[in-house]
Structure 1
Amino acid sequence: MTASTTRRTTAARSRIAAVGAIAVAGALILTGCGDQTNKSSSGTGAGDSSAPLFSKLPKKIQDAGVIKVGSDTAYAPMEYVDNGKIVGVDPDIAEALGKQLGVKLQFTSGTFDGLITSLETGRQDVAISSITDNKKRQEGLDDKGQKIGKGVDFVDYMSSGVSLLVKKGNPDNIKSLDDLCGKTVAVQRGTIYEDTFKAQAEKCGDKKLTIEAFDTDAEAQTRVKAGGAVADLNDFPVTSYIAKTSGGGNDFEVGGQQSDVGLFGIAVSKDNTQLRDALKEAVDAIIKDGSYAKVLEKWNVKDGAVQSATINAGK
């Protein structure tokens, strides 16, 4: 698996859908850390012209006071719905960006595979949804290299790889994929993580790696917790979140370092370079003022920090 692989497949995303996400699909909710409410808002009205980067924004967004954000809010801890509120790493980063830009970043929940299309149609201004920046998305190509759209630009704000989820205490001392040879792993069926395990099984050769595939990742986690498998595999932020929250942090831990590291980016239409550049400055600003680090620390994903924002740095 390469860094350009689309990590968030439909199957992969379904296994961590937050409770109640379906009920709010398509509903518009304002981002926020602790003060987010269910009150409806048109989101209209001029932004805060005194904000440091307000002048960098396109006039249309200055006048509206809002950047419309498309997101598939079913990917804890990056973005998910909790008690009717969109919460997570990305919403908190968006709130910090909004303070620099003097506007609100207003999230609309939708399907992941429709996010880039929503930028091309103008329905949304940006997409923030743990989207891996890669050349195919930049150039508007499908998996076969065929042109399917204009493509988008990315403002890269976080790195993420894949990580092994092991039983608390790591009794089998699993620190890398190579440590899995001769053992049994559990994974959700039909995901890229199953493909990764299959590729590793070929590398293991006679020292057989046994793969048990389940309909849901929750079942795979249960198998690891019970000791029937030594590891599950997932995106680093998700693995880290499960390790922190399951059983009060007593069920699992992350085995070794993340691998296959790529970049998450804020997707912006190629026709909207002014907004793209303003967002890059805003990401750099929140890195500099420390608010970025506080968000990653809060959600236990600080290993995903980048030193500065980049544009289209994905491979």
Structure 2
Amino acid sequence: MKPSVVLVHVGDVFASYINDCIEQIQKFNDCNIYLILSEKHFEMIKSKVILLSIENVKKSTNHIDFLRTSKRDDNFRDGFWKSVVERFYYIEDVIIEHNLENVFHFENDVMIYCDLEKMSRVMSQNKIKMAAPFDNDSRCIPSFVYFKGNEVLSELNRFMFQFSDYNDMELIAMFNEKYSLIEMLPVIPNDYKRELKSVSGITVRNKLKYFENFDKFKSIFDAAAIGQYLGGVDSRNVKPNIFSKLLKRNSKFINESAVYNVSDFNYVWEIDDLGRKIPFLTYNGKMHKISNLHIHSKQLDLFK
């Protein structure tokens, strides 16, 4: 089955950069894109996608249980901490209702530089049911997520609504720690020589996990650290902290929690046969394609 993309925007405030995200997906792919958002925002979408009203999506049992039990803060930034978790319930709703397989989900501030049909073939050949990048053992950044179907997603959602004191990144890592059902996408080349240790002192139990699928995908996936290094961070998130002297090198932001240091790499852009710009990192004399960039600053138009 041809892959599909499911995007979700929960909230009353429209994020215009969603249009850049969609445009970039379509630049590299010919696939159905399902976009779940409030019907009042439909007119703001510039590309041809399948628009699904968030008010009318048929909710699964998991979604109903989440809404019944959630004690998450609805006040911070348009209900941000609730919506980042609830999006997984909307994805489950849509996969079930539309009987989807080979589904990709991206955060709305992510730029895609890869062929998802080729990517889904790799997932299928390796019997992968869910995959995502992690930047340390306790944090999955769901910037680029693959679901074979709803099987693992439904288990994840049943797990998540039991905990209201953790965010989506922590919950996915906790779930995988317990059940080992999520394949870790490679975030560094397989010849990365340094110890995996963040600038804030976080270490890992098994370095292999952060590049073990590198030979399968022949590319790197950006959890968040590369996009933050190249494009900065959301200005709303900038606060003085004890790592302030470590977080910037040559005016580039270094993520304090990522166990690999993205300043160890150089970055170049190549133009493919269709005139599309594609980012690569260079390390140890080799160039490696980057399949996505997580543009935390929300300035996606600078990375087309």
The structure showing larger relative contact order (alpha-carbon pairs under 8 Å, at least 6 residues apart) is 1
**TM-score (norm. length: structure 2):** 0.30
**TM-score (norm. length: structure 1):** 0.29
Q: Which has the larger radius of gyration?
A: 1
| Structure with greater proportional strand content | 1
